[in-house]
Amino acid sequence: MPFIPSAMTSLMMMKATSQSVFGAKLLPEISAVSSAVCMYLSTAPIVTSTNIVVGPGAGTYTGKVVGVIPSAMTGLMMLKAASMGIVGRDTKKLFDAVSFGVCQTLLTTALVQGTVIGGGPGGGFGKIINLIPSSLQPLIVANMASKGLVGSKMVMLASAIAFGICTHVMTTGTVVTTCIGAFTPPPVGPIPIPAAPGPGRLI
What is the pLDDT at residue 61? 98
8 neighbors 105 (Cβ within 8 angstroms): yes
Residue 150's SS3 state is: coil
Calculate mean pLDDT across residues 26-40.
97
The packing angle between helices 26-41 and 89-108, to 10°, is: 40
By residue count, the chain amounts to: 203
pLDDT tens profile 121-143: 999 999 999 999 999 999 999 99
Neighbour count for residue 159 (Cβ, 10 Å): 23
For 94, half-sphere exposure in the C-beta direction (CA atoms, 13 angstrom radius) is 26
Domains in the chain: boundaries: 5-202
- Compute CA distances 147 → 5, 12, 30, 142, 154, whole Å: 15, 17, 11, 9, 12
* pLDDT value at residue 1: 63
> For 157-183, how does the pLDDT look when each residue is reduced to its tens digit (9 = 90+)?
999 999 999 999 999 999 999 999 999
The structure's pTM equals 0.95
How far is the CA of 88 from the CAs of 81, 82, 120, in angstroms? 10, 9, 52
- The model's pLDDT over 52-94, given as tens digits with 9 standing for 90+, comes to 999 999 999 999 999 999 999 999 999 999 999 998 778 999 9
